[in-house]
């Protein structure tokens, strides 16, 4: 089965983001495909290169990145939600005259059209909210 995943939960506010990455890893282990994960609203914080959780909390960003490097999962961050929350890639940082970018590697900024496309192409869409 081919899944599209929507994550609108921040990484450390609720269990939503943890549940999302656990679902993705379990689905892949069971032989399914996670074609795209779309990060929306506060879920965009999962893509921050600057997050430093305490040692007793597992960091989620490297686990998301591993989905991309190991399984080719597309990690798409809503550009509008990201900009509102100060999450920028190199191009957007230059465009908005900001001193630095903070989007973690293997994540990419794009619009809601990527979510719509994923929903059309997937067998199932699973959403993880706060």
CATH number at residue 47: 3.40.1260.10
- Per the annotation, the verdict on 52 as an active-site residue is no
Strands 2-7 and 107-110: what pairing?
Answer: unpaired
Angle at 40 between CA 30 and CA 5, to 5 degrees: 15
Q: Which of 109, 87, 115, 122 is nearest to 10 (CA)?
A: 87
C-beta separation of 32 from 50 below 8 A: no
Task: With a cut of 50, list the residues of the chain below it in pLDDT.
Answer: none
Query: What is the reported pLDDT for 12?
Result: 87
What total of structural domains would you count in the chain?
1
- SS3 (DSSP) at 37: strand
pLDDT at residue number 69: 98
Tokens representing residue 44 in the block: 């965009």
Claim: this prediction has a pTM higher than 0.75: yes
Catalytic residue among 78, 81, 115, 118: 78
pLDDT score of 54: 87
Residue 76 is part of which domain span?
2-128
Q: CA angle 5-7-11, nearest 5°? A: 135
């Amino acid at each position: 089965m081919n899944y599209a995943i929507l994550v609108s939960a921040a990484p450390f506010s609720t269990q939503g983001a943890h549940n999302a990455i656990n679902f993705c890893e379990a689905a892949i282990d069971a032989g399914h495909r996670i074609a795209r994960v779309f990060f929306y609203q506060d879920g965009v914080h999962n893509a921050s290169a600057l997050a430093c959780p305490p040692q007793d909390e597992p960091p989620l960003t490297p686990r998301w990145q591993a989905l991309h490097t190991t399984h080719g999962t597309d990690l798409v961050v809503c550009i509008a939600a990201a900009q509102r929350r100060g999450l920028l890639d190199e191009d957007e940082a230059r465009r908005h005259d900001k001193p630095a970018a903070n989007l973690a590697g293997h994540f990419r900024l794009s619009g809601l059209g990527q979510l719509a496309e994923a929903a059309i192409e997937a067998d199932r869409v699973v959403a993880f909210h706060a």
